[in-house]
Structure 1
Amino acid sequence: MAELKCILWDVDGTLADTERDGHRVAFNMAFDEAGHKREWSVATYGELLAVTGGKERIRFDIDRGDMHEMPFEEIAGLHARKTAHYETLIAEGRIPLRPGVRRLLEEAYAAGITLGVSTTTTPSALDALIEHSLGPEWFDRFAVLAAGDIVAAKKPAPDIYTYAMDQLGVSAENTIALEDSENGWKSAHAAGLKCVVTVNDYTRDHDFTGADLVVSELGEPDGDAVDVLQDLHTLDVHHVKLSHLKAIMHD
């Protein structure tokens, strides 16, 4: 029976609720600053989340006719300004961690489990979230920060997870992924990983057919959260103790 040795975290929507009041707001600030007559509503941004990557979302909006055509350099510049605005929002304390995240991270680190990040968010945005929402000590506690364009194919492709495991020298059988979206769990699954999905307002209606476990949040369990993940990792999810499921599921 394989031992859980590594946990790989998605960021946006998983570590923190970054999308609606973070990335979306920052995009709109960048659009306004550049003089674009475009504002992404909550509903519109929910649709755009089906596209992985910020620059890719701008391109998608252009291709469907909701923004004017622009070269890649302009898209990249617009996205860079968006990232700067997003980092300011984080520094202002407007993007807290999701419930249970800090406890699980602390318990896993104390238990000697390798921790890493596998995300499509930009490295500077990830750095800002770690700095202001987790604390600077986590730059050393995360053994790998796989982020942004470090791989060519973004989620749902498995590349970012494969890259992180290669960097860490761990195997899929000893690793579990934490995600929040359909594209995210498909990416983890394609990399051979078991995956726990913690849905949010944007992703609770996604198709998670085939996912190992879907919960509303990690919560603040009375027991050992790392033991919960170990059970989910080593056993068929349907045989995990009901008390363990209740420990992390808040419906």
Structure 2
Amino acid sequence: MLFDMDGVIVDSERYWAEYEEERILPAAEVSGLDPGEITGMNYKEIAAYLTENYDAAVGADELQGIYEECAAELYTERAELMDGFRDLCGTLRDRGVRTAIVTSSPPEWIEMVRERFDLTGFDAVVSAEEVEGPGKPEPHIYRHAAEAVGVDPADCVAVEDSTNGVASATAAGTTCIGYRGGSDRTLDLSAADVVVDGPQELRAELLAR
């Protein structure tokens, strides 16, 4: 079972949307951006994307620094854990299911979340920054995660909340559950095998499998 972190394990995407609207995009003097274009991408790739495609007023390095400042506040103070996530992971492990975190976030941000919410017991923790090749929406990170847990991608189930994340998981050949946790409900998750609303529907779907 391969869980995306932002917007799935923690409800951080709504805060990222706030930071991007109020701090990051104004600093870059970027307008006309559809948030779905960058949701699910690694922040360094977002910085490069804004610089290359929207003629950002500041460089990629400065944008990365703003993202890092926002992340420290978001993950240590604001984001909350998905309701019932620890119990869900415990039930999956009791059934012999291997679990992994698979995220575009860098290792430092993952550790903030794991330390704050005492998240342990995963068979793998995969950051896009530790994977050779491009991040989401390309399939590399999910192929790497499947190898890390020792399961063929076709036998893995990924949980993703973004268009880019769903594209990555499906391109890797995994079954993908699109998760709407209450942040941006306009994102196109139609490429997922099934879409669920909230933690209870997700738990029911996963345990049924």
The answer to whether the 8 A contact 2:36-2:162 is kept is no
In structure 2, distance between residues paired with 1:131 and 1:58: 27
The answer to whether the 8 A contact 2:2-2:156 is kept is yes
Q: Cα deviation per residue 1:24-83 (whole Å; 9 max; x = unaligned)?
A: 528966x59xxx844789x9572443572212222333334462253xxxx245424522
User: Are residue 114 (structure 1) and residue 93 (structure 2) matched?
Assistant: no
Q: TM-score if structure 2 supplies the norm length?
A: 0.81
Please list, as runs of the form range in 1=range in 2, the aligned pairs for 1:1-251 lying within 5 A after superposition: 7-22=1-16, 24-25=18-19, 37-38=27-28, 46-50=35-39, 52-65=41-54, 67-68=56-57, 70=59, 75-76=60-61, 78-92=63-77, 94-132=78-116, 134-135=117-118, 138=120, 141-151=121-131, 152-201=133-182, 203-219=184-200, 225=203, 228-232=205-209
In structure 1, distance between residues paired with 2:152 and 2:205: 20
In structure 1, distance between residues paired with 2:183 and 2:18: 12
Number of residues paired by the alignment? 208
Report SS of the residue matched to 1:114.
coil
Q: TM-score if structure 1 supplies the norm length?
A: 0.69
In structure 1, distance between residues paired with 2:27 and 2:163: 31
Report SS of the residue matched to 1:219.
helix
Question: Highest Rg: 1 or 2?
Answer: 1
Work out the percentage of aligned pairs sharing the same amino acid: 26
Any unmatched runs of 5+ in structure 2?
Answer: none
Any unmatched runs of 5+ in structure 1?
Answer: 1-6, 233-251
Report SS of the residue matched to 2:199.
coil
In structure 2, distance between residues paired with 1:77 and 1:13: 25
In structure 1, distance between residues paired with 2:30 and 2:87: 34
